C-alpha cells in the first residue's frame, strides 16, 4: 500500500462490541489516511469481506457526526452522512482516548469500538527517511471475526454453539456453511499484515 506523507501515526485498539470472549485487534496507521481507507484496513485486519455498507460515528460533547459513503439508502433516514473518502483520520480524532464507533453491515450491525490509544508525531522532513514508520501494521489481536452474513450477535452465538457440539442438529449444515477451515479462535497477525501490504 505504500507509505503516506504525514507527521502522525495512530495506535488503535479495535474491539467488536457485545461478544465474549472478546474479538479485538491492535494496529498502527498513518494519521493522513481517509476514514474510507481506515475502513478498508479494518476490513482486512478484522477479517471481513467488504461486501456491505459501513459508517463511522464520533460523539463529542453529545454531538454525533456520521461518516460513510454517500448512498441513496441514507436519503430516507434523515441522517447526514459526511463523505468518509474526503475526511482524514487526523482531522477527525485528534486526541488520544477518543473513541470512534465503526459499524459494518447495517443489517447484522457489527459494532466496533475504535479507541485512539496513542498518537505519535514525526517531523515532516524525516518522514521520507523512515517509510516503515508510516507503514500501516497490525500489532496484535485475538479470535477470528464472525463469518460474513452470520446474522448479528445472537445468530453468531447460536452458530458457535452448533459448531462446538457434533450432536447439535445444525452442526453439519453450519459447518458446511462456514467451511471446514473456519476456526473462531484463530487469528494471525502475519496474515493480517500480508493482506495490509497489498491493500489498494
Give the total number of structural domains in the chain.
2
Is 1 contained in some domain?
no
Domain interval for residue 156: 146-184
Q: Residue 61: CB partners within 8 Å, gap ≥ 6?
A: none
- Collapse the DSSP code of 95 into the 3-class scheme (helix H, G, I; strand E, B; otherwise coil) and give the result: coil
pLDDT of 155-165, one tens digit each?
Answer: 787 767 766 75
- In sequence order, the β-bridge partners of residue 56 are 67, 102
Tell whether 155 and 119 lie within a shared domain.
no
Is 40 contained in some domain?
yes
Tell whether 86 and 132 lie within a shared domain.
yes
Nearest C-alpha neighbor of 45 from the set 182, 184, 195, 147: 195
Tell whether 32 and 49 lie within a shared domain.
yes
Is 3 contained in some domain?
no
Taking the model in full, what pTM does it have?
Answer: 0.86
pLDDT of 41-61, one tens digit each?
Answer: 999 999 999 999 999 999 988
Tell whether 127 and 164 lie within a shared domain.
no
Tell whether 26 and 97 lie within a shared domain.
yes
Least confident of 49-53, 59-63, 126-130, 143-147: 126-130
pLDDT at 12: 97
Q: Longest Cα pair distance anywhere in the chain, in angstroms? A: 63
Tell whether 117 and 47 lie within a shared domain.
yes
Inform me whether the pLDDT recorded for 17 exceeds 60.
yes
Tell whether 139 and 176 lie within a shared domain.
no
Is 2 contained in some domain?
no
Inform me whether the pLDDT recorded for 102 exceeds 90.
yes
Phi-psi region of 110 (alpha: psi -120 to 50; beta: other; left: phi over 0): beta
| Beta carbons of 65 and 22 less than 8 angstroms apart | no
Tell whether 22 and 36 lie within a shared domain.
yes
Tell whether 128 and 83 lie within a shared domain.
yes
Tell whether 112 and 159 lie within a shared domain.
no
Amino acid at each position: 500500500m505504500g507509505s503516506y506523507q504525514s507527521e502522525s501515526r495512530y495506535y488503535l485498539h479495535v474491539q467488536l462490541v457485545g461478544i465474549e470472549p472478546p474479538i479485538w485487534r491492535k494496529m498502527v496507521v498513518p494519521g493522513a489516511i481517509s476514514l474510507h481507507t481506515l475502513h478498508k484496513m479494518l476490513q482486512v485486519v478484522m477479517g471481513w469481506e467488504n461486501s456491505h455498507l459501513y459508517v463511522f460515528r464520533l460523539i463529542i460533547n453529545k454531538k454525533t457526526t456520521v461518516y460513510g459513503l454517500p448512498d441513496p439508502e441514507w436519503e430516507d433516514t434523515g441522517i447526514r452522512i459526511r463523505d468518509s473518502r474526503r475526511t482524514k483520520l487526523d482531522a477527525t480524532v485528534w486526541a488520544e482516548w477518543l473513541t470512534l464507533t465503526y459499524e459494518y453491515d447495517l443489517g447484522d450491525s457489527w459494532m466496533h469500538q475504535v479507541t485512539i490509544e496513542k498518537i505519535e508525531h514525526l517531523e515532516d522532513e524525516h518522514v521520507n527517511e523512515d517509510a516503515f514508520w508510516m507503514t500501516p501494521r497490525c500489532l496484535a489481536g485475538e479470535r477470528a471475526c464472525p463469518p460474513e452474513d452470520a446474522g448479528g450477535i445472537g445468530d453468531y452465538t447460536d452458530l458457535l454453539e452448533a459448531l462446538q457440539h457434533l450432536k447439535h442438529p445444525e452442526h453439519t449444515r453450519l459447518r458446511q456453511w462456514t467451511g471446514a477451515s473456519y476456526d473462531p479462535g484463530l487469528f494471525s497477525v502475519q496474515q493480517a499484515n500480508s493482506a495490509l501490504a497489498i491493500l489498494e
